[in-house]
Chains A and B, each alone.
Chain A
Amino acid sequence: MDDQKLKIKAKNSYGMIRAESIFKRSLIGVGIAMVVLVAGLMVTLIIESLPSMKNLGIKYLWGRTWDPVNNVYGALPFLIGTLLTSFLALIISIPFSFAIAIYLGEYNPKGWLSNFLKNTVELIAAVPSVIYGFWGLLVLVPLVRSLEMKVGVLPYGIGIFTASLILAVMIIPYAASLGREMIRLVPSQLKEGAYSLGATRYEVIKNVVIPYTKSGLFAGILLSLGRALGETMAVTMVIGNTSMIPDSIFGPGNTMASVIANEFTEADHTLYLSALIELGLVLFIVTVIINMIGKRIIQRFTNE
């Protein structure tokens, strides 16, 4: 009888030990899987864009014409389109995101009004990009068109300017919420010191808060930029989709992400497909570098 009990006990603890080692191993396995997944993403992109790298070489990046019918591929129009839309959106969004960050971090960190603003900003980040695109296409485009008629440029309505406007709204939350976190980290002794010397609120913000959070605010801008570069759907829907180098910010264009979205399923031969994938590879590398720099800056800032 006793023998039987001991046997069961031994069996149970053996099971426990086995379960424990399975658990530990699966934890490590999942960790490895993450590394493999990301490495696999990059390797797949590189392998699939090899035909285009071999055939077109490095001059692919500054080729001015994109003409799949005649097998001519140059990525310059899309690089310019991407940079134009992203930086325009960034410039439009910065006053708003900094204002939100300063308001929530400095003027009014608590209370229902700041909670309302904070939640609004978070909901802006939550709205799906295809809905921004749809709304932009049917509401914003006519508005921009009438604006363009007043200014006296060709009234396309769709184009780089419209895409930048929508992008600006979409990226505000990223810089704003990060900026708020950073501004709240400013030690109150520094601010109190400035106040006690007779500084006004504006002077405290300008001479204490902003210099102290400079690098954090910059990181927020970088993360916003990373978002803007990779944003696909909203931009695809309002940018106009032409493969020419845009002649003005009001003209139609194409970004790297939007050209992939439009032409990937139509690409009927290897070189065409692989040229599109090379665009994806460039996009991947650029956004990863920008994000990594941004995250490093935040890490250094919050560890200080």
Chain B
Amino acid sequence: MNANVKYRVAKSKFVQGLIFFFAFIITVPLILIIIYIFKEGITKINWAFLTQIPKPVGEAGGGIVNALVGSIMIVLVASIIAIPIGILCGIYLSENKTGRLSYWARLSVDVLQGVPSIVIGIVVYFWVVKPIGTFSALSGSVALAIMMLPILIRSTEETLKLIPFSLKEAGLALGLPYHKVILKVVVPCGISGILSGVMLSIARIAGETAPLLFTAFGNPYLNTNLARPMQSLPLMIFNYATSPYDEWHNMAWGAALILLFTVLLLNIITKLTTRRWNVQL
């Protein structure tokens, strides 16, 4: 080998090393965050932490049951609102690939996917909070439901696109009406893809804070009334983390651990179930 070739090979090796280094260094922050939150959070979690409401500053103990219950309720209601609409819209878009309405609907989904979550919070404030006259868990659910829609619609559409057309033809040839072909043949074939979209969208919104700031608002007490303000885990972490009190920081670490592991677990489960489908989300 002459010097020039050696130089080129060495340069290629050097760049390869550089790319490997830059690519894998990204695992460092994630691992650091997970380890740090685990270390700080695991000591705070005990039975009282999960079953009591927060105590005033200065008193020891207290828990985050209001945030846990609130998070579950808000996400549950958001799912009830968003899942039927999202799946139906996904079916519509996969069934109508061309046409004016489907063009505009697809464009709207694209737009919605890019809208910053805080803007959705503002709009829902004017749609729900202002007419009712009070911050409420329901308005938080509406905001989160709007955020779920694009993910649900995209995953349903992409999954149903993969279903062979011959299945649908077979159903129609047997004389099944259109809605039965869709609901009893096409959707069941793609159900695991659709379900993983559902889980992914729940994982995405479970940690959302910004749209809840002006809607669910937060509440230091346990509340199960959807028409009243309600605490949620991300809101609580935000409020406690930015407070000057160490005890509140400690509670926020515990809450952060619960939130982080719930979200990561949902993502990993989704990953394992989508492997078969290879859907791009």
A4 CB to closest chain B CB, in angstroms? 23
The contact string, 1 if C-beta is below 8 Å from chain B, for chain A 136-152, is 01110000000000000
Interface string of A10-30 (1 = CB under 8 A from B): 000000110110111011101
- What number of A residues sit within 8 Å (CB to CB) of B? 84
Inter-chain contacts of B36 with A (CB < 8 A) = 135, 139
A95 to B23, CA, bound (A): 9
Given contacts A16-B177, A126-B203, A261-B213, contact A229 B234 (CB under 8 A): no
Which of B52-60, B220-228, B259-267 forms contacts with chain A? B259-267
Shortest CB distance A118–B (Å): 10
A185 CB-CB contact with B under 8 Å: no
Determine the interface band of chain B, counting residues with CB < 8 A from chain A: 35 or more
Asked whether A230 lies within 8 Å of B271 as measured between CB atoms, the reply is no
Q: A203-B12, A257-B118 are in contact. Are A135 and B263 (CB under 8 A)?
A: no
Pick out which of these stretches binds chain A: B62-70, B161-169, B204-212: B204-212
Q: Are A287 and B16 in contact (CB under 8 A)?
A: no
CB closest residue in chain A, given B108: A38
B245 at the interface (CB under 8 A from A): no
Residues on B with C-beta less than 8 A from A102 are 19, 23
Minimum CB distance partner of A38 in chain B? B108
Segment touching B, from A41-49, A68-76, A244-252: A41-49
Which of B115, B123, B182, B259 contacts A131 (CB under 8 A)?
B259
Contact of A122 among B102, B108, B238, B271 (CB under 8 A): B271
Interface CB pairs A-B, < 8 A, 7: A34-B89, A39-B108, A41-B115, A134-B252, A232-B116, A237-B238, A257-B118
| In the complex, the 8 A-B pairs of residues with the closest C-beta atoms, listed nearest first | A128-B207, A230-B116, A291-B114, A99-B22, A23-B179, A200-B12, A202-B12, A103-B23
- Sample of 17 further A-B pairs with CB below 8 A, known A200-B9, A202-B12: A33-B89, A34-B89, A40-B123, A96-B22, A117-B27, A126-B203, A127-B264, A128-B234, A131-B260, A139-B32, A176-B26, A202-B15, A203-B8, A233-B238, A261-B118, A264-B213, A288-B111
